[in-house]
Structure 1
Amino acid sequence: MFMKLDQQDLINVDKVDKIFEEIELNDNETDLKKSKFDKLKFFFKKRGNNLKEFMGKSPLFSYALKRIIYAFITLYIAISIIFIMLSVVTTDSAYLSGVNLEKLNIEYGSEQYHRLLDNKKRLYGAYGSVFQQLFIYLRNVTPFIPKEIIKNPSLVGTEIVGEKTTVWFYLGAFMNSASGGVPGTPVLDAFSKSIPISFSVGAIAVVLSYIIGVPLGILAAKYKDKSTDSAINGTSLIITAIPSLVLISLLYKMSIYVFGANGTYADSNFSTKIWPVLGVMLLIMPYIIVNTRRYVIDEMTSDYTKFAISKGLSSRYVFYVHIFRNASIRLVKTMPEIFVITLFGSSILVERHWSIDGMSKFILNGVSNKDTYVVLGYIFISASAGVFSSLTGDLLLAVMDPRIKLTK
């Protein structure tokens, strides 16, 4: 028997067919999407395996990359904390430093005053909430993002005008002329002029400190617990115990009143310029002498040294071929760090006394005048240099000493 279908039943059958067609179409689209997702997943997995294999074959590169990433994450966190702390103590008057409101006929608290203040804050990237300002600053110091800034700004009424330019790295601008630069001008421009001056003084002092300090440390180690060792090591400890401010002040006055040197570094002769170098050397050379002595003594008392001597090798051969070579590897590791510490730390007092136009004036004047971007710029540059100097020391150690493996 056959069932007779009316027109309504035919319509229902057509609807069911369309539903099945839609289900089949959706299934095909789902399979297509799933196939694309699997291909994309396989692509990233393959690239990840290739990267992992490359990192395994290049341990120095892998170690350096990880150190740089972790270091800059730490640096950004530290900069964020310092930025928030400085923002809390920075008043509106700091942004309007050098602006004569009476000359501009602007009353404090008026609409023009607030418009001028807002324009000044925009010039420094300090508009919005504290966290918006922090985000702007972190973006400015990230070299992979282009930034548009105003160079050589000038004030026309309440508006800031100047030459707009795009830069990749921006440390901010001077807020106060007492910090060592013209308000509104980039901090990096002033730093780029002063860093070579600090570099010249610091580099000479570091090189001379190693040339003199390393032989003295070796001499003290060879004659351990004897009069030579007591004289060298004792003198180093005494110099280290004297406060740096007192030590540099005494050296500065002695250079003027005893040896007749000039009191300023600029436009002076060799007899004056040597004293700042000696000042930096007094601050870092005791550290080099003590470390050299310690490293050499460690190698002298090691098992391989005793074994070499027991095999009949001469003490002179063992010392210069084995002991000094291994001790020098540890000394080389400290060289980049000492140089950065000298450039951004130890030389501050020396540059201050001899009026050297180096980096020290920015951190001292910036802190005293609450110039936020000068202080932050100095910290960012010095901390970044410290990161790379520490990394350079580790890589030098790994290259020179085959026993060091920068892997898990």
Structure 2
Amino acid sequence: MTLARNKLPRTLALAVVAAALMAGAGIARADEYGDVNQLLRSGKLAEALTKADQYLASKPKDPQMRFMKGVIQTESGKPNDAIATFQKLTEDYPELPEPYNNLAVLYAGQAQFDKARAALEMAIRTNPSYATAHENLGDVYAKLASQAYSRALQLDAGNAQVQPKLALIRELFSTSPRAPSARTGGNIPAPAIAAAPAPAAKPAPAPAPVIAAAPAPAPAPAAKPAPAPAPVAAATPAPAPAAPAAPAAASAGAGKEVEAAVLAWANAWSSKDMNGYLGAYGKEFDPPGKLSRKAWEDERRARIVGKSHISVKITDMNVSVTGNKAVARFKQDYVADSLKVNSRKTLELVKSGDRWAIVRESTGA
């Protein structure tokens, strides 16, 4: 089944907002990014491309401007040029999921759904919590199913079970079809550009658990002894405040242990100490993208050791502990060679023996 680009579901759109994740530049660079983005949003695509090329002439490796160039090429009706731009980005910066997602959009627009599927699987392997890629992958699988059902009907027109399945998928993709962008000739859904200024939304992950973890009503019982009669009432509240004190102290101690474990993990990553880095993950850790533990470790080793310089800084850490389980949320500033990525990260840890080990990690949470 061939599907026009403007018929794609609304989620299968360019992740322009993701350019913010690849930032890490100073104010001067931000102004140049802003100038190019403004020209792009104004439909002045030729000027935007010229300005992007001028910038890249002196900074050819800059990932954000290269990403924006790919978006401009897509909006200009040059999908093959855009594919080449995003493909090279995935080779130079395999840590970034957004170029893979945009490759999938372009491949899907050319009805190359197998390539789109492979690109989206790479995006998810890079960032298992990338919701857009998961939804896009579902859309691509549906299109592949539609092609398979159509082929089945061609080979066996009397198969009564296939037709309802095919009709269901066609109905799914015919509901709320997306109007093409006035500036793209119907090639790219309009919200791709509308999402561009979204970097301002980045501070959103201000974890609510900070408030939830502060149940300080414990001192309240201390006020109760006042109205109570002599020693009887005084004796009753005395044990009450003492009881929560022990768990609170234990929880605080466990929280410090978790913080230390997370910082040790980041330091091992920064120093490319693979034994320390991989040893921070517990046996229960489930690698992303359906990889085996060995394949995941080999992939991480290749990506980390291959860098000439890595710096991983942790700030704004917030830890909550429940028994032998803990959740650490923090801001991660990652620098590797010329790549800089600022993101929110969540690690789930479990205490095994006398150490805390990572069993799950996600980005953007």
Q: TM-score range by the shorter chain?
A: under 0.3
Tell me the TM-score normalized by structure 2.
0.22
Q: Could you say which structure has the larger radius of gyration?
A: 1
Relative to its length, the structure with more strand (as a share) is: 2
